[in-house]
Structure 1
Amino acid sequence: MTTFAFRWQRVLLYAVLIIGSLLCLFPFYWLVRSSMMDLAQIFEMPPKWIPEPFVWRNFIEPFEQLPFGRYFLNTLIIVVGTLIGTLLSSTIAAYSFSRMKWVGRDKVFAILLTSMMLPFAVTLIPTFIGWQSLGLINSYAPLIVPAFFGGGVFNIFLLRQFYMTLPRELDEAVFVDGGNHFTIFTRIILPLSRSAVLVIGLFTFLNTWNDFMGPLVYLNDESKFTLAIGLQQFQGMYTAQWGVLMAASLIIVLPAILLFVIFQRYLIEGIALTGIKG
Structure 2
Amino acid sequence: MRNVSIPSSTSLIFKDQLKVIQVFPFNFIVDGVEIPTHPLQLFLTGTFNRVPILLGATHDEYVLRVLYEEYTSPPNSTEDYLTRILPIMTYNQSEIEALYHPNLFNGNYSKAFVALMSQAAFICDARRMAGYMVNQPTYLYTYNHAPESFWLSLPSLIIWPGAYHSAELLNLFQTASPLLYGDQMFLPNELNLVASTRRYWTNMITKHQPNNNISLTWPQYSSTMDQTLVLDINITTANFTNVYPNCDLLSAARV
TM-score range, shorter chain: under 0.3
TM-score (norm 1): 0.26
Between the two structures, name the one with larger relative contact order (CA 8 Å, sep ≥ 6). 1
Normalising by structure 2, what TM-score?
Answer: 0.28
Higher strand share: 2
Which structure shows the higher helix fraction? 1
